[in-house]
Amino acid sequence: MDTLKIGQYIQHLRKSAGMTQKELAEKLNISFQAVSKWENGDTLPDTGILLDLCDLLNTTADRLLNGGSFAAAERKLMKLEDVMTGFQYMESMERLFGEDCTFFTGMVEGINEKMNLDLLASLKDPMRREVLYAEVLIQGILSGRTVDMDEIEANLQNKKMVNTIRRYLAKANGNPQTAE
């Protein structure tokens, strides 16, 4: 993703809506500095507020994350099983490489910083682990992929996460009435 292009698009939409950074931030219950970081291409909006941001700016998540361009029509299926396997591989890196290995610690530190979480603690807690799965699936949806809701409903215990994924998928599929 081109964070600078996305930031410029957010700024364009915000200004077109006649809002200041502070006004947009207040509507999203965040700091104006967060909006500034988006617009400068330093960070991206958190998935927890992305749909609200899109509603305020009258755009879709896929269009926003493509910097104003329409996403490709083809949507590749993202499997929950693959996401779970990916996290298992991440965990095995600690055992295979060693907890002090720069590759392992760099991966963990990078994820912790980008996601503002404690990856290793989240992987040890089943409910937080499901939140990680949901986060990856939502990011996939936002980048143009699709998911099998039957697989997700069958394998995730956290119904709030299931409903959040369903909401993102519905919005990405152009069904905002089923997204609420």
pLDDT digits (tens, 9 = 90+) for 29-46: 999 999 999 999 999 998
Domain that residue 165 falls in: 77-179
Residues 26 and 83 placed together within one structural domain of the fold: no
Residues 28 and 88 placed together within one structural domain of the fold: no
pLDDT > 90 in the chain, percent: 70
91-150 confidence digits (pLDDT tens): 899 999 998 999 999 999 999 998 899 999 999 999 999 999 999 999 999 888 899 999
Residue ranges in the chain assigned as alpha helix (H): 3-16, 21-28, 32-39, 47-57, 61-65, 80-97, 102-115, 119-124, 126-142, 149-155, 159-172, 176-179
Residues 103 and 173 placed together within one structural domain of the fold: yes
Average pLDDT for 46-70: 86
User: How many structural domains are present in the chain?
Assistant: 2
